[in-house]
Structure 1
Amino acid sequence: MASDPEATTCKRLLLLDFPSEILAGICQHLPNSDIKSLRLAAPSLCHAVPPRFTRVFLSPDPSNLAVFRAVAAHPTFRLGVREIVVDDARLPDITRRRDCFNDTTNQEERDISASDNAIQRGLEASDNQQVSPGSHGVYSSDPEPMMMWFSLRRQRNRLELRGRHANDSGNVAGRAARDAQRAAEPPVEQTYQHYRDLLRAQEASMETGEDMQALVDGLAAFPALERITITPATHGFLYTPLYYTPMIRNLPYGFNYPLPRGWPTSKERPLQETLLQELFPWVPSPGWTADSVEHEKARWRGLVLVLRALATRVQDGGSAVPELVMDVHSLNTGVSPYMLAQECEERDYLALILRQPGFRRLDLPILLAGVQPNDVALLGNGLLKSLLAEARDLKHFRLRGDGQFDPASPSPQRFFPLKSLLPLDTWSSLRHFGLSKFVVRVPDLVDALGALPATLRTVELSFLIFSPLDMGRRENHGMLLKTMREKLKWADRLPEARPRVTMGLAKAKNNVEGRGLWFSDEIGTFLYESGQNPFGWQRDVLLPGVGWVADEYDADFARPYVEYKDYRALWYNDEYRRCVATRDGCVERGDDMDPSLCWLPAQQVDKIGDVWRIKKILDLELNIQAWQGGEKRQLDRWLVSLMLMAS
């Protein structure tokens, strides 16, 4: 008798036998991508597993607006929203010079410099062009300058993609997916026309203020809202966005377009030596009109809208969100220091938000380069410190600079004593303190850490820049850790009260944007267990075998930081692995491993990168520097066995 297909299907879907409460509990631990796949598996699962909307996206793009309003109007979905991500990276328009160059690419500098020069010539050629009525700022009388700019930006994206792939030989699946999109890239004329349509739709929404009204409605519609994140880095890099917003999901497959960065950047490039992205005051002054001020504020349009909407809600008797995150994700940009250190309307809005009882988190990036020469010391005037002192219930604080220190530049980033910027004695409940891309001095930083309350549990110190001392001497990370152990005496606290310290470093001088070395366990061993300084005699160079490498835009990139010569066969693919022959569907691995382990099925070799994730889950503490000789072979056998079990 033939088996009943329906009965067979029901027999296989054992997941449906679980009570709804258990099924809901399981789904709480799944990412949205897995929930979507689960719902597509069978109609019964689609009904049993509801979609989850904990995060919604907002920008002037019609696709983002439509989904945002649909969730806000849904009687059930709106109740689960806990975060609004405001995409403040508007599509760049060649007719607005400040919008065109907010990027931080650092690959293939010579080729990019040539592209920049061509862009500049195109801009100069377009100066005499006229904007036609109804074109929303897009040149329609002569599209040649914009077409040239568009093509050069696509070329720049390809160069950036090539540079990122050169350092990503271990993520086979990710590279293959990006290469497939690159091969399917639509023709430039088709892409350019679609981009113009997106640009017109964006400009139309901005003119009507539709996104501002949607934000106001969303604040009232989401009762569980806990966080608003404003970011100019949503689009990430080519085929690797930070967030897959509805707009990005609706783009044609392989779509290559000028990636928006939103806020001004401090990255100095050959073109920006002539078109320097200067910052200007947020209050009128002689020769600086109110219209000029509004034009300057428009560069942070999404941030200004959020602050205004939240402050207005508080003034009307509502409550502000307890967490405000301004996240730039490795881009050399941030909030204008004029907004924080001048008596402007937006500073008053932010002060009102921070003052609300229960406000607990603030992530604040500050753009320090580009200020007027007379305003280099602007942040030290006390207004920033008094502003931050409003947040008396703060539990999580992260301060970020723009990573620039060039004494020869027109507006060099100077050293600011942390106690002159931060009201450390006011934050009596602080549990997390983060400092990134700031110019520091070891005694001042350690003194600031010592002033933090006993409630502190985590500390992040990443991509710090040490201020030069006399006679050209410079402090380093090794000195910082040594001074922390000697001065802070955190080891005298109970184990559960000791702060966990994490550090992040650039892997090389010309580091791939968004990638870095991170380590924490070795710091804890040094601070609290009399272990060795992880920097050893190098003092400012992290040796292989300590920490891991991560990419802020690609979670699958994570891998241990190990020596290539010893572990390239495990962690990297064709570029570093010696494949000397292929036979019967297997790959010969050469002499890098034990001879008994030279032959592995090819499909399992592609999964080797997953071993690191398994290792992290098992929380195995492995000291790679100590492995030598036979111990290395034992490690090879263990890792391969683990990989075979996982596959």
Structure 2
Amino acid sequence: MALTSLPRELLSEIASHLSNSDIGEWRLACKRFSLVALHIDRVFISANPKDIEVFRAIADHETQRCMVKEIVWDEGRFEEDPRSTWCCHDWARHRQSPDTPPKGYARACKRNLDEIHRRRCEYDADLPHHLDKQARMEKAMAVQESWRHYRGYLAQQNVVLADDLDIKAFEYGLERFTTLRRITLTPAAHGFTFMPLYRTPTIRTLAAKTKDNKYMNYKLPRGWPTSVDDAPLEARNWNTEADKEPWRGFINATRLLAENQGPSVTELVLDVRQLLTGLTCRFFDNPCPEFDHLVAVLRRPGFRRLDLALMVGGQEYDGWKSLRNGRLRLALEEVSSNLEHIHFGTDVRNDPDWRGQNLSGGHPEHFIPLGNLLPLRRWPRLRHFGLSKLLVRQDDLLSLLAKIPKTVRTIELSFLYFLDGGGSYRGLLEDMRSTLGWHTLDVAERPKVVIKLDMHREGFNLYGRALWLDKELDHFLYGGGKNPFGHGDDEWSSNSVFAGEGGGTERDEFDPAHERPHAEHPELVRLGIHKRRYGRQY
């Protein structure tokens, strides 16, 4: 029987096992195959006309619009030229023209290439994903040419922003996507150079090879205030329209949902992927329409998922007022009792002493009981509970874990920083095993615990890259295995997992091909991941 004679239902079943790129080529083969629909369950919106064009085309397609379950709003924005206010005399005095890249843009492009080098260990073997990035680096267009392309995208973006075309398209999508469930807002869509987090239509055009076989290295748009080093930015005020403007997508998405549009939406995700950013915690300082809109979304019947990431820089000097004033908890208390997934995180760094003051010394003003923030008992159907980048105490966190609903199946405790004298990861795991009684539950009811830890190289934090502990924790908590954290008496050892001793897997959320055991160099050589060091034999 010829493939073209198969019923449409069988063709669709075959297509379900193919990628969208393969289906796209298949659809071009003949008219019969063109009836096979792409698997489109996620669409993208941003302040770029290409994303809006594709978004509206899917919204207008009577078959594909019914498949969409998630809208990802890319909040990254191309930045204006800081010299845009210069007069002709300024340009002449500096001997520049608008075609000359700004110094900040040139520095960002150089920093991009440095980041690629940092993310590759000097001993890494020539694996395919390294060779691909190396080839792109060698064919990266000159900064001046990159700036010319960047200005074109910026001009298109400004047209979109002037007429609110992205907001209008999003509103249209809420009407057309009848099975929509999740709204994701992210400043991290562009990921890192040659390693995007999401391959949106716009990012695909940016990543495409040009006619002269060049690749574009450009200043990565973030949109939300985002630190480019290990020092968190100070949380921005939430008073004026200028203060709020970076979170334009969040503001309009929650406003439209609060107006009861997109009635099937029950999930709200702020996706920062370890970047030092988030919604400013000053959002919770005072009553405002945006707070009311968020609460209205959280109150939705059947609301089931919230991923909330906050930027809290500077709060350590002000007694953490924005987290202590009760308005964050007030909002979370309004979340539907149907909530199944909660992940709460901030941009706290592991060295709060970065401004020369010992802020992690266990002082009461730096400790906020987690129970004051998270009303766990109001969510009896919770299945996932996650915390990341918080200052914690071991006893307080253990007390919170003892109160989680028995419905919880996964727990994430990532990048947590224990206050001085406040315990450690090692001690926490010991107490979890000895006091929570989870090992007495049926296997299917035992919570699966995941911990992610920062990965550093040459003094830099590699955002998105982490040491994952999962099966090691399962073995320790339920199988009598050893504690993966160090046995030293000092706090550094008891919060560290040493290569070749505690297990774990290195993963990179921006580079899925980077996955390797947390092992010593000889083992990585044996596995073909590292090259042999010069002058050393194993």
TM-score (norm 1): 0.73
Q: Residues 234 and 312 of structure 2 are in contact (CA less than 8 Å); yes or no, is this contact kept in structure 1?
A: no
SS in 2 for 1:43: coil
Work out the CA distance in 2 between the residues paired with 1:190 and 1:567.
40
Match of 2:219 among 258, 278, 288: 258
Q: Shift in Å at residue 418 of structure 1?
A: 0.6
Distance change in 2, residues 1:343/1:174 (3 Å) = same
Higher helix content, 1 or 2: 1
Match of 1:417 among 366, 369, 381: 369
Per-residue CA deviations over 1:418-468 (Å, capped at 9, x if unaligned) read 101011111111000011111111111111111111111100111111111
SS in 1 for 2:275: coil
Match of 1:485 among 423, 433, 436: 433
Equivalent residue, structure 2, for 1:400: 345
Equivalent residue, structure 2, for 1:576: 532
SS in 2 for 1:480: helix
Q: Residues 266 and 367 of structure 1 are in contact (CA less than 8 Å); yes or no, is this contact kept in structure 2?
A: no
- State which drifts further: 378-387 or 532-541: 532-541
SS in 2 for 1:165: coil
Distance change in 2, residues 1:170/1:47 (3 Å) = farther
Q: Shift in Å at residue 131 of structure 1?
A: 9.9
Q: Residues 151 and 188 of structure 1 are in contact (CA less than 8 Å); yes or no, is this contact kept in structure 2?
A: yes
Q: Shift in Å at residue 37 of structure 1?
A: 5.2
Q: Shift in Å at residue 257 of structure 1?
A: 0.8
Equivalent residue, structure 1, for 2:454: 506
Distance change in 2, residues 1:427/1:381 (3 Å) = same
Q: Shift in Å at residue 193 of structure 1?
A: 1.4
Equivalent residue, structure 2, for 1:621: none
Are 1:523 and 2:473 an aligned pair? yes
SS in 1 for 2:290: helix
Q: Residues 310 and 320 of structure 1 are in contact (CA less than 8 Å); yes or no, is this contact kept in structure 2?
A: no
Work out the CA distance in 2 between the residues paired with 1:532 and 1:18.
56
SS in 1 for 2:376: coil
Structure with max Cα Rg: 1
SS in 2 for 1:425: helix
Work out the CA distance in 1 between the residues paired with 2:523 and 2:96.
61
Q: Residues 179 and 264 of structure 2 are in contact (CA less than 8 Å); yes or no, is this contact kept in structure 1?
A: no
Are 1:438 and 2:390 an aligned pair? yes
Equivalent residue, structure 2, for 1:90: 77
Q: Residues 87 and 231 of structure 1 are in contact (CA less than 8 Å); yes or no, is this contact kept in structure 2?
A: yes
Work out the CA distance in 1 between the residues paired with 2:316 and 2:426.
35
SS in 2 for 1:525: helix
Are 1:324 and 2:268 an aligned pair? yes
Per-residue CA deviations over 1:559-598 (Å, capped at 9, x if unaligned) read 222222134132315x3378x9xxxxxxxxx975xxxxxx
- State which drifts further: 499-508 or 402-411: 402-411
Match of 1:537 among 467, 487, 491: 487
Work out the CA distance in 2 between the residues paired with 1:181 and 1:362.
37
Work out the CA distance in 1 between the residues paired with 2:455 and 2:104.
32
Work out the CA distance in 2 between the residues paired with 1:336 and 1:567.
41
Q: Shift in Å at residue 25 of structure 1?
A: 3.4
Match of 1:219 among 161, 168, 174: 174
TM-score (norm 2): 0.87
Q: Residues 94 and 149 of structure 1 are in contact (CA less than 8 Å); yes or no, is this contact kept in structure 2?
A: no
Distance change in 2, residues 1:279/1:506 (3 Å) = closer
Are 1:60 and 2:47 an aligned pair? yes
SS in 1 for 2:314: coil
SS in 1 for 2:449: strand
Distance change in 2, residues 1:535/1:148 (3 Å) = closer
Equivalent residue, structure 1, for 2:212: none
Question: What percentage of aligned pairs have identical amino acids?
Answer: 37
Q: Shift in Å at residue 512 of structure 1?
A: 2.0
Distance change in 2, residues 1:199/1:577 (3 Å) = same
Match of 1:351 among 273, 283, 295: 295
Work out the CA distance in 1 between the residues paired with 2:121 and 2:50.
34
Q: Residues 127 and 529 of structure 2 are in contact (CA less than 8 Å); yes or no, is this contact kept in structure 1?
A: no
Q: Residues 280 and 372 of structure 1 are in contact (CA less than 8 Å); yes or no, is this contact kept in structure 2?
A: no
Matched length:
511
Distance change in 2, residues 1:304/1:388 (3 Å) = same
Distance change in 2, residues 1:501/1:29 (3 Å) = farther
Q: Residues 130 and 141 of structure 1 are in contact (CA less than 8 Å); yes or no, is this contact kept in structure 2?
A: no
Are 1:553 and 2:500 an aligned pair? no
Q: Residues 322 and 360 of structure 1 are in contact (CA less than 8 Å); yes or no, is this contact kept in structure 2?
A: yes
Q: Shift in Å at residue 77 of structure 1?
A: 1.3
Work out the CA distance in 2 between the residues paired with 1:223 and 1:452.
34
Equivalent residue, structure 1, for 2:66: 79
Work out the CA distance in 2 between the residues paired with 1:572 and 1:408.
35
Equivalent residue, structure 2, for 1:302: 249
Match of 1:177 among 106, 122, 132: 132
Work out the CA distance in 1 between the residues paired with 2:125 and 2:403.
43
Distance change in 2, residues 1:259/1:266 (3 Å) = closer
Per-residue CA deviations over 1:225-253 (Å, capped at 9, x if unaligned) read 01111000011111111111111111252
Equivalent residue, structure 2, for 1:290: none
Listed as ranges, the gaps of 5+ residues in structure 2 are 210-214, 361-365, 489-493
Equivalent residue, structure 1, for 2:12: 24
SS in 1 for 2:120: helix
Equivalent residue, structure 2, for 1:43: 30
Q: Residues 123 and 532 of structure 2 are in contact (CA less than 8 Å); yes or no, is this contact kept in structure 1?
A: no
Work out the CA distance in 2 between the residues paired with 1:501 and 1:494.
16
Work out the CA distance in 1 between the residues paired with 2:21 and 2:513.
15
Work out the CA distance in 2 between the residues paired with 1:504 and 1:548.
10
Q: Equivalences for 1:240-259 in 2 at 5 Å?
A: 240-251=195-206, 252-253=208-209, 254-259=215-220
- What residue identity is the alignment partner of 2:295? A
Q: Residues 332 and 367 of structure 1 are in contact (CA less than 8 Å); yes or no, is this contact kept in structure 2?
A: yes
- What residue identity is the alignment partner of 1:149? G
